[in-house]
Amino acid sequence: MIKASFTKRTLIFKQPAGTSRGVLHQKDVFYLLLNDSENPSKKGIGEIAPIPGLSPDPISELEKKISGLVQKINTGKEIGENDFEGFPAVKFGYETAKKGLDSYSPVLLYASDFTNGRKGIPINGLIWMGSKEFMLQQVTAKIAAGFTCLKLKIGAIDFESELEILRSVRELYPAEKLEIRVDANGAFTPENAQEKLEQLAYFDIHSIEQPIQPGQTAEMQKLCAATPLPIALDEELIGITNLSEKIKLLDQIQPQYIILKPTLLGGIKASEEWISLAKERNIGWWVTSALESNIGLNAIAQWTATLGNPHFQGLGTGGLFTNNIDSPLYVSEGFLWHEPKGNWNLEAIL
Over range 179-183, report the average pLDDT.
Answer: 96
Phi/psi at 249 (nearest 5 deg)? -65, -50
- Give the largest CA-CA distance in the chain: 63
Does residue 222 carry a catalytic annotation?
A: no
3-state helix, strand, coil in the chain (%, to 5): 35, 25, 40
DSSP label at residue 212:
B
Confidence of residue 6 (pLDDT cuts 50, 70, 90): very high
Q: What is the CATH number of domain 121-348?
A: 3.20.20.120
Q: Where are the beta strands (DSSP E) in 195-261?
A: 207-209, 231-233, 257-260
Residues 6+ apart with CB under 8 A from 35: 2, 3, 4, 5, 42, 43, 44, 101
Catalytic residue among 27, 42, 98, 153: 153
Catalytic residue among 27, 65, 196, 261: 261
Lowest mean per-residue pLDDT among 129-138, 218-227, 327-336 = 129-138
Tell me, yes or no, if the two domains 2-101 and 121-348 fold the same way: no
Does residue 42 carry a catalytic annotation?
A: no
Q: What is the pLDDT of residue 130?
A: 78
In the chain, what are the domain boundaries?
Answer: 2-101, 121-348
pTM score over 0.75: yes
Q: What is the pLDDT of residue 20?
A: 56
CATH fold for domain 2-101:
Enolase-like; domain 1 (3.30.390)
